[in-house]
A and B are shown apart, each in its own frame.
Chain A
Amino acid sequence: MLAYAIKRVLGLIPVLAIAVVVTFIAAQMVPGDPILALLSDQSGDQELEARLRADYGLDRPILEQFIDYVAGLLQGDFGLSFRFANVPVIEVIGTGLAISPILALSAMALSVPLGTALGTFAALRRNSLADTVIIFVVVAGISVPNFAMATVLVYWFAITLGVLPVAGWGTVQQAVLPIVVLSISPTAYIARLSRTYMLEVLQQDYIRTARAKGLGERLVVLRHGLRNMLVPLLTTLGIIFGVLLTNTVVVEAIFNIPGLGRIAIDAIFARDYPVIMAVVLLFTGFYSMINLIVDLLYGWVDPRIRLGDGRAS
């Protein structure tokens, strides 16, 4: 298991390295001169221009700039903002760094148990009215974009009923709607998957054996059904977390939450590329970490994976 874990952790390095290269190249392809944009009304000032160019390292060869950037990254330094002169990117990002993962993880914590419960419930009552209703709700939950869903929820709960704030960040009440909006589509997705997996698991021989030996239906489902269903479900959690992280960008825009996503969107409009690069790299980093954790968990639960048996992959 340890060897597998080390192999997987080391495998992360080239992925992140390539992400850095791709992001750096993308930023180089942007038209326009960031220093001239920074100068704006002082654009005649040659001395200031030269000083800024030196501060930002933009007067040096591109390869040197890249090595500098990577060296900075290794120390948690994302360079300087193009929007605010000589302000480090990390200061622009500031507290936003924690907000997006908190949102994503909260939504995950809500949707995994809820989705699993809904899916299991529907599978156990296959083709009943409840099953049909759940399937419809699930398709709607997957199909309707979260910002469309958010308009309805904000209208009901914040404007018509007035029980929750419309937007903002800082209080528990302000976090309720964003987390609910964020968790709708993963809940639906997990419900759909767990329904399918549960239907599959319930047809297995070991379920019949469990029933045959006189085990109560509740124990059959909980101990034998649910446990075996969770294994394939686990692999999809990485993908779901990736979608969730991305969706925080949207939710932060809707609810005016100062997280990474909104910082990135603001940076796009301000053409602040170092900030955009930092956010893209941070999101990619979080995403790879979660996928790594999921892989490790999966390898731990299912020995066939870590032993490199082709059957399971």
Chain B
Amino acid sequence: MTADLHTLNQSDFWLRFRHNRNAMIGAALVTTVIAVALSAPWLAPHDYEAVDLFAVWDPPTAAHPFGADGLGRDVLSRVLWGARISLLVAVSVLTITFTLGITLGMIAGYFGGWADALIMRVCDIIFAFPELIFAILIAAVLGPGIGTVIIALSIVWWPGIARLARSLVLSLRSELFVDAAVACGTHPARILVRHFLPNIVAPLIVRASIGVGFIIMAEATLSFLGIGVQEPNPTWGAMIRDGLTSLRTDPHLAFFSSLALAVTIIGFNLLGDGLRDLLDPRIRER
């Protein structure tokens, strides 16, 4: 029933994907980060909270391969656990923003009228603020913490998804398969879920994969500024901040946490770019 406008043949997709070097590197990096995040409790040589006063600011040693921080906590363990926090925030924000954004965007695009006007005006209000500044305002109101980070980033991100979903629905609104479904007396909710959603899923996947890198960066930025995820939770952003203040004497803390953050975001961005090249029909021709 659904027209295959934006989806690719599956085997064709994997063939193209394997030949895209950047996408493959990205996929490898992302897989590694996810594996690390999932197995952090078993991979980490120490408890990420365990304080070893004899190891305070130790450079990399056999016991602490990435050294120790100012409280004598093992940097390697904290870097590994940090992947969990980053991905937890990313997955939560993606889930919230995509549920909210797709639902509201599709409603706005399909029904138009006052629902469209209302939803798009709310989006405009949020767009009026620079993204991170608005997130900082929300963090200031709610107080720092992982929940605040997730809420703040979700509020800032969903309008973009809603706009995308709306424009995608609008572009398909006059397709024959929609008329056919309406003529059959299909309920609007069913039309949106069964007929529109499968046709707009590819660009949304591209958006999600590009978004993950930005969300992880935004979380790290808020944590770096001290208004994000709080101690004792290990986050790369906060570790870089701590590392920056002791850069002269103990560069290892800033170095390893920056590296972990950089590799993760590069991985997601390479994967996102690759998926965009493969799934976005406007770019595919080139």
Contacts and interface: CB of A to CB of B under 8 A. Distances in A.
Interface of A: 15-16, 18-19, 22-23, 26-27, 29-30, 135, 139-140, 142-145, 147-148, 150-152, 154-155, 159, 166, 199, 242-243, 245-247, 249-250, 253-254, 264-265, 267-269, 273, 276, 279-280, 283-284, 287-288
A142 B22 CA distance: 15
Contacts of B273: 139
B140 A143 contact: no
Interface string B129-154: 11111101111110000000000000
Given A268-B227, A284-B129, A147 B136 contact: no
Contacts of B128: 15-16, 18-19, 284, 287-288
Contacts of B129: 19, 22, 280, 283-284, 287
B225 A253 contact: yes
Interface residues of B, number: 45
Nearest to A247: B132
27 contacts: A19-B129, A26-B140, A26-B141, A139-B266, A139-B273, A142-B269, A143-B266, A143-B269, A144-B262, A144-B266, A147-B237, A147-B241, A151-B244, A151-B255, A151-B258, A155-B251, A243-B130, A245-B133, A249-B133, A264-B136, A268-B136, A268-B139, A268-B227, A269-B226, A283-B129, A283-B130, A287-B128
Contacts of A135: 22
Interface string B205-246: 000000001000100110011110000000001001101100
A151 B137 contact: no
Contact of A253 (B224, B257, B266): B224
Given A19-B128, A145-B220, A254-B244, A249 B136 contact: yes
Contacts of B139: 268
A231 to B, nearest CB: 18
Contacts of A283: 129-130, 133
Identify which of B136, B138, B237, B268 gathers the most chain A CB atoms within 10 Å of its CB: B136
Contact of A145 (B140, B254, B255, B261): B261
A22 B130 contact: no
Contact of B137 (A18, A155, A242, A280): A280
Given A143-B269, A147-B240, A284-B133, 14 more contacts: A19-B129, A29-B141, A144-B265, A145-B237, A145-B261, A147-B221, A151-B243, A151-B244, A199-B286, A246-B130, A246-B132, A250-B224, A254-B244, A284-B130
A273 B213 CA distance: 31
B247 A154 contact: yes
A14 B247 CA distance: 46
A139 B247 contact: no
Contact of A242 (B131, B225, B237): B131
Contacts of A267: 140
Nearest to A192: B273
A72 B120 CA distance: 30
A151 B133 contact: no
